[in-house]
Structure 1
Amino acid sequence: MSETLRISTLEGDGAFDCYVARPAGKPTAAIVVIQEIFGVNAGIRRKCDKLAEAGYLALAPDLFWRIEPGVELDPDIEPEFKRALELMGKFDQDVGIRDIEAAITYARSQEGCSRVGAVGYCLGGRLAYMTAARTDADACVGYYAVGIDGLLREKNAIANPLMLHIPTGDGFVPPEVQRAMHEGLDDHPKVTLYDYEGLDHGFATEFGRRRNDEAAQKADERTAAFFTEHLGA
């Protein structure tokens, strides 16, 4: 079962839409699904639905609500891709993390989930890293996270498990950034990095031209095992 709920900000000065997918039974764990730059579109909703099928409460907050509520864009349509880049340029990531934290708080306080994780893609992968460093999320996963080299100073704040999926042919994350990620995080006791040789950004998207079925399945199996270990269901 799925629905769209309104969740209040931590400050109580506003509220935003959040797509929620519920499992058949009562969940003990929840996962916040963090959008790409394309908003809470069909692919992100499908990520939530699949997590609900696995037994989790899944929540995808609309992080662009302060700029333009209800954004749903298709990365395979050039004008929509350009629009997504414009929205990303206006997005305040620090404020976005507060909205993710509000979703985590909601899952715990209103839905009774004792453990809450997060998984994000693209921009959401970066935000998953920031969530691991800045919130008390129990476990986080980032797919093709961008700009992590600029966030390595926050790595010592990561207290709970974090997994990052890194396609080595990512046009948005050049080799020198990937090297910095490995040099900065390989020895971190809470962080696990996986490389996907030759693959490009967006390989695990649910729909569209970017998807690579074999690699997406492999990454998603690793993510599922990670969440089972650290969250249960």
Structure 2
Amino acid sequence: METNSQWIEIDSADGAFGAYLSLPRGGKGPGIVLLQEIFGVNQHIRNVADQYAADGYVVLAPDLFWRHGARIELGYDEAGWQRAVELMQATDFAKAQQDISATLKVLRGLDGVSGKVAALGYCFGGRLSYHTAANGLVDAAVAYYGGGIQNALERAPEIKVPVLMHFGARDDHIPNEAVKRIAETFEHNEQVEIHVYDDAEHGFNCNHRASYQQRAAAAAHGNTLVFLSELL
């Protein structure tokens, strides 16, 4: 993939934090703020950033765990899972949203960003993507297996921009009943699109995980590209 990537610093009220920037060939395109899983801005998230940069987007992935250590990067083994859950539970959700707001300000200000910007998040980042849309900070949002969205449906009336959600039918972290509740809540909002992938588990997009499912990952990526191309 012909992309140009680097870490940059973003200023916040609490100090500076890092964000992984990946530029498309030519350096210009619509913007995406990429929101991490609970494993940090690890190799998988950087690969996703580079993938969407290759698709023509300027992608910026903030390090949302920076208050607990800069650029924490975890794997998917038992130790990685344990530390990831600890970090997620220790993260101040309001401050994470402030960090996303600061990241979006930088993203919109980049010379290469033309037009609109979207939030794209996975797992923990999927939930944050939903809240970023509800906060009115982006022009569109994509949430992959966003755990916890079903517990924040009181924010549904605040969703005024197009949102695309991806879920796996065999996700043992997000019950089918939760997905059903989300779908029912947004049933009359034509801007919200929900896809459920048969035989896909939690994390089906991540080829670093045992739950990776190539077919679901390809279909979801294609659906996301169509969605973003129509809106940004």
Going from structure 1 to structure 2, the CA distance change for 1:185 and 1:110 (only over 3 Å counts) comes to: same
| Alignment match, 2:181 | 180
Equivalent in the alignment of 2:5:
2
Aligned to 2:121: 120
In the alignment, what sits opposite 1:37? 38
Kindly provide the amino acid, as one letter, of the partner of residue 39 in structure 1: G
Instruction: Give the residue type in structure 1 aligned to 2:110.
Output: Q
Report the equivalent of 1:58.
59
Q: Deviations over 1:6-25 (max 9, x none)?
A: 0112xx44111000001121
Whole-angstrom CA distance in 2 between matches of 1:92 and 1:112:
31
What is the aligned-residue RMSD (CA, Å)? 1.3
User: Where does the alignment leave 5 or more consecutive residues of structure 1 unmatched?
Assistant: none
- In the aligned structure 2, how far is the partner of 1:130 from the partner of 1:27? 27
DSSP-derived class of the 2:211 partner: coil
**What are the superposed Cα offsets for residues 17-72 of structure 1, whole Å, 9 maximum, x if unpaired?**
00000112132311011000000000000001011111111111000011222111
Query: Aligned equivalents of 2:169 and 2:187: distance in 1?
Result: 16
Q: Who is 2:82 aligned against? A: 82
Q: Secondary structure at the match of 1:153?
A: helix
What letter corresponds to residue 90 of structure 1 in structure 2?
A
The whole-number CA distance in structure 2 between the counterparts of 1:111 and 1:60 is 17
Residue 197 of structure 1 corresponds to 198
Please tell me the residue identity of whatever aligns with 1:125: G
Offset, 1:112 = 5.2
Give me the identity figure in percent: 38
Farther-moved stretch of structure 1 (172-181 vs 116-125): 172-181
Q: Report the Cα offset of residue 3 of structure 1.
A: 0.4
SS of the aligned residue for 2:67 comes to coil
Task: Indicate the residue corresponding to 1:132 in structure 2.
Answer: 133
Q: Aligned partners of 2:93, 2:14: CA distance in 1, in Å?
A: 18
* CA distance in 2: counterparts of 1:178 and 1:55, whole angstroms: 31
Matching residue of 1:95: 95
Task: State the TM-score, normalizing by the size of structure 1.
Answer: 0.94
Bigger mean CA deviation after superposition, 173-182 or 34-43: 173-182
1:194 partner SS: strand
Runs of 4+ in 1 over 6 A off after TM superposition: none
Q: What SS does the corresponding residue of 1:129 show, helix, strand or coil?
A: helix
* Structure 2: gaps (5+ residues): none
Secondary structure of the 1:66 match is helix
2:117 maps to a residue whose letter is: V
Work out whether residues 168 and 178 of structure 1, in 8 Å CA contact, stay in contact via their aligned partners in 2.
no
Contact 2:27/2:112, CA 8 A, preserved across alignment: no
Return the letter of the residue paired with 2:157: N
The separation in 2 between residues aligned to 1:190 and 1:5, in whole angstroms, is 33
1:226 lines up with 2:231 in the alignment:
no
Per the TM alignment, residue 185 of structure 1 is displaced from its structure 2 partner at its CA by 1.4
Contact 2:117 2:139 in 1 (8 A): yes
